[in-house]
């Protein structure tokens, strides 16, 4: 049974980032301004269960600029009910550029009572900080089947582990 936490506000933010890329940089029309991206997909588990509705952001360890010299958008992904995700940089599901990325994961706990109109974060704070999450993915040319990202909740906090499927 998947961990259910519907992160509609975060989905909206990721969609707006992708749309902003298309509107401001012309990403959807002018591929000459894009760096090549490659399919990257994986799974996210929380305490051994698929994590639904989580937002992943992929922070490049080295600055990546497009051919026009402008930084690329911060790639992201949203997990489905089965914990699966496909990363997006310019368009939904298009993938990630080649390189190493620090990964952050966040997910609102929609089963908890909101505080000041905001739902509390389901995951421990370390997962929202690229320097502390301990999650790194390496992208190469071609299809990238990423290792399972296994997270621990506050109640089961301990070492972060990224393991192979």
Dump pLDDT digits (tens) for 74-98.
Answer: 999 999 999 999 999 999 999 999 9
Rounded Cα distance between 80 and 115, Å, is: 25
Tell me what the mean pLDDT of segment 25-44 comes to: 76
| pTM, entire model | 0.76
| CA 159/CA 141 separation, integer angstroms | 30
pLDDT level of residue 156 (50, 70, 90 thresholds): low
Structural domain spans, the chain: 3-163
For the segment 25-54, the average pLDDT, to the nearest whole number, is: 83
Alpha carbon distance 120, 118 (integer Å): 6
Mean pLDDT of 41-46: 98
Looking at domain 3-163, its CATH superfamily turns out to be: Immunoglobulins (2.60.40.10)
pLDDT at 94: 97
Helices (H), 7-162: 8-25
């Amino acid at each position: 049974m998947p961990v259910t936490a519907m992160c509609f506000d975060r989905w909206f933010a990721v969609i707006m980032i992708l749309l902003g890329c298309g509107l401001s940089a012309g990403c959807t029309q002018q591929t000459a301004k894009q760096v090549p991206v490659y399919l990257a997909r994986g799974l996210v588990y929380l305490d051994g269960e698929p994590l639904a509705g989580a937002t992943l952001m992929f922070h490049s360890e080295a600055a990546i600029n497009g051919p026009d010299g402008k930084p690329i958008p911060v790639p992201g992904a949203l997990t489905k009910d089965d914990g699966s995700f496909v990363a997006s940089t310019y368009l939904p599901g298009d993938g990630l550029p080649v390189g190493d990325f620090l990964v952050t994961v966040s997910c609102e706990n929609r089963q908890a009572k909101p505080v000041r109109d905001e739902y509390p974060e389901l995951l421990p704070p370390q997962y929202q900080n690229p320097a502390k999450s301990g999650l790194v993915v390496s992208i190469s040319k071609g299809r990238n089947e990423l290792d399972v990202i296994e997270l621990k909740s506050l109640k089961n906090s301990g070492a972060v582990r990224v393991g192979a499927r």
